[in-house]
Each structure stands twice: as structure tokens, then as C-alpha cells.
């Protein structure tokens, strides 16, 4: 018997203290599992160039599509946090780095993956689209996050 959460049509949750000072779990409609790559150095050797693997890992951004609640609390929390990080008259921004983790569950609600993101920060929040031309679709809002690195947790 499947115990999938059909109410939210999602088996992804993202838990963080980034948007508030408390740890909150959010239902996610879509998420990317960020890739990573090594930097490289090109060295000249006789008449050709040679690539040497460097020691720096580059992590791709994390993009989350949050399911919006009826009162837009998730959207308001993110906007308020972004605005509070910026001192308009001073021209400075506060650098806030916090934690977050993504859990992916199978149809039987068993956790199959947990990624712990270290020192995450908000990069941007995309436009939220409303339309009267569609059925009662779930409204989502995309948020892009940067982080220092992630760990695969058991």
C-alpha cells in the first residue's frame, strides 16, 4: 500500500532556518540535485596545452520550487528575510549564512536521500505567476540558493 502524500503531490521537503530564526520544513514541488565540477588549469607543454585537475570543487546552485500556501506565508517570509538583509540607506548587505537540508522520500515515505547544505544564503526569488486561464494548479515560487558545500547524509 502506498502512503505517498497526495495532498501536496510531493515527496521532497526542504528544512532550513534561513527564512526565519526557527527550523521549518517546506514542501517542494521541484528541486535540482546540484552537480559539482573540478576547476582545471591549462599548462603549456612543448607545442600543446595540457589540462591539469585543480583542487577546487565548484558546486552548482540549489533551485527550489516552493509550494505556496493559501496565505502566501512562505513567499512573505522569504521576501521579508531578503529585505531585512539589505540596509537601503547604508548601501550594505548583511551576509547571513545558515543551514538547510533536502530530503527525498520514496512512495512509501522512506528517506532515500538527505543532502545537508552548509552555509546557505539566498541568491534570488523568481516571479510568482498567477493566471485565471488554468485549472486549480498548485502555485509555486522558485528560490535560488548558494551554499559553500553539501554532504550526503544517511
pLDDT value of position 109: 78
Q: What is the pLDDT of residue 102?
A: 92
**Contact present, 81 and 19 (Cβ < 8 Å):** yes
Number of domains, the chain: 1
* Interatomic CA distance for residues 146 and 100, integer angstroms: 11
141 in a structural domain: yes
For the segment 61-74, what is each residue's pLDDT rounded down to a tens digit? Answer: 999 988 888 888 88
53 is a domain residue: yes
User: Does residue 44 lie within any of the structural domains?
Assistant: no
Residue 2 lies in a domain: no
Residue 6 lies inside a defined structural domain of this protein: no
**Looking at the domain assignment, is residue 109 inside a domain?**
yes
More confident residue, 60 or 51: 60
Find all residues with CB under 8 Å of 145, minimum gap 6, and list them. Answer: 18, 61, 62, 63, 64, 100, 117, 120, 121, 122, 123
pLDDT at 10 (0 to 100): 52
Range of the domain at 133: 12-36+49-153
Mean pLDDT of 88-115: 76
Confidence of residue 20 (pLDDT cuts 50, 70, 90): confident
- Residue 5, pLDDT above cutoff 60: no
Report the half-sphere exposure of 89 (CA within 13 A, side-chain side).
0
Q: What is the pLDDT of residues 115-138, one digit of tens each?
A: 999 988 888 888 887 777 767 677
Residue 41 lies inside a defined structural domain of this protein:
no
Indicate which CATH number applies to the domain containing 146.
2.30.110
For residue 24, give the C-alpha cell. Answer: 521549518
Specify if 85 maps to a domain: yes
Confidence of residue 7 (pLDDT cuts 50, 70, 90): very low
Amino acid at each position: 500500500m502506498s502512503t505517498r502524500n497526495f495532498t501536496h503531490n510531493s515527496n521532497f521537503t526542504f528544512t532550513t532556518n534561513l527564512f526565519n530564526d526557527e527550523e521549518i520544513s517546506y514542501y517542494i514541488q521541484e528541486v535540482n540535485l546540484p552537480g559539482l565540477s573540478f576547476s582545471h588549469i591549462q599548462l603549456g607543454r612543448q607545442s600543446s596545452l595540457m589540462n591539469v585537475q585543480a583542487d577546487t570543487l565548484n558546486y552548482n546552485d540549489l533551485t527550489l520550487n516552493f509550494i505556496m500556501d493559501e496565505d502566501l506565508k512562505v513567499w512573505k517570509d522569504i521576501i521579508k528575510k531578503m529585505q531585512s538583509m539589505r540596509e537601503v540607506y547604508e548601501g550594505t548587505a548583511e551576509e547571513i549564512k545558515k543551514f538547510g537540508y533536502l530530503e527525498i522520500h520514496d512512495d512509501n515515505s522512506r528517506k532515500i536521500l538527505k543532502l545537508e547544505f552548509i552555509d546557505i544564503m539566498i541568491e534570488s526569488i523568481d516571479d510568482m505567476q498567477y493566471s485565471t486561464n488554468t485549472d486549480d494548479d498548485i502555485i509555486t515560487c522558485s528560490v535560488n540558493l548558494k551554499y559553500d558545500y553539501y554532504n550526503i547524509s544517511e
